[in-house]
Amino acid sequence: MINTKAPEFKAKAFHEDKIKEVDLSNYSGKWLILFFYPADFTFICPTELRELAKNYSNFKKMNVEILSISTDTAFVHKAWHESSEALKMVDFPMVADPNGKICKAYGTYVNDEGLSLRATFIIDPDGIIKSSDMNDNTIGRNVDELIRKIQALKHVRENSQELCPVNWKAGEKTIKIK
Catalytic positions, written as ranges: 45
DSSP class of residue 9 equals: -
Q: Which residues pair with 66 in a beta bridge?
A: 33
DSSP class of residue 95 equals: E
The distance from CA 5 to its chain's CA centroid, rounded to whole angstroms, is 16
Give the helix/strand (H/E) hosting 79: helix 74-83
Which residues have C-beta within 8 Å of that of residue 6, sequence separation ≥ 6?
24, 32, 34, 121, 123, 127, 128, 129
Write out 134-175 in H/E/C secondary structure.
EECCCCCCCHHHHHHHHHHHHHHHHCCCEECCCCCCCCCCCE
